[in-house]
Amino acid sequence: MLLAGREERAWTQKFMLGVGGVNCVVQISLNIPGLPKNISGDAETVAATRRFFLAELASAPPFRVILLNGAGAAEIFPLAGDAAEAKKIAIMMEDGHEWGRVFDIDVITETGPLSRESFGERPRSCLLCEKPAKVCAREARHPSEDLRAEVIRLLHLARSELRCP
C-alpha cells in the first residue's frame, strides 16, 4: 500500500506538470515515521497548511488533488508562478514554525524537485534532535514510538495555530 501510494503521488505530479501554463507542482504531505502513515486529523491539517502556504504565496491553483492512501494524506496542486518563490515559502514554513518539521512541502519542476540545499539551506533536521533527519532515520537513532509521539504533538500544535476545525 505504501509503494502504491507513492506511485499515485508521482503519477499525479507528472500529470500536473503536463498541464499547459504550469511551472511547478506543490505537494504538501506529512513526515510520519513508521506505519501506518495516517493519523487522525491528518487530512484536515494538510488542508489548513495548504491554505496557509497559498496565502503566503498570494496565489491560487486552478485545481488540487487530495490523496488519502497508504503513503498518507497529501494535497498536490499545480502553480503557474515562480517555483523558486514557492520553495522559499515552503522552507520558511518548514523551518519557521515549530510544527513545520512535521510537514514535507515539495516543489517539483520538469527537472525534478527543488532541494533545500540549492537555496543554501541545511537538510531537514530530525523531529527529536538537531541532526539531519536522513541520518537519524538511516541509523534508527530514535525509537519509533518517540518519533510518532512527537508527530502527534506537532500535528496538535499545527491544528491549533492553523485553526483547524
pLDDT in tens, 84-111: 999 999 999 999 999 999 999 999 999 9
pLDDT for residue 165 is more than 90? no
| Predicted structure pTM score | 0.94
- What is the extent of the structural domain holding 134? 2-161
Measured CA angle at 155 (ends 60, 129), to 5 deg: 115
Alpha helices in 77-120 (DSSP H): 83-96
Q: pLDDT exceeding 70 applies to what percent of the chain?
A: 99
Segment 8-26 mean pLDDT: 94
- Identify the band that residue 164 occupies on the pLDDT scale cut at 50, 70 and 90: confident
Q: Write the DSSP assignment of 127-152 as a string of letters.
A: SSSSSBHHHHHHHT-S-HHHHHHHHH
With CA atoms as reference, report the closest residue to 114 among 25, 28, 46: 25
Mean pLDDT taken over the chain = 94
Instruction: Work out how many domains the chain is built from and give that number.
Output: 1
Segment 136-162 mean pLDDT: 93
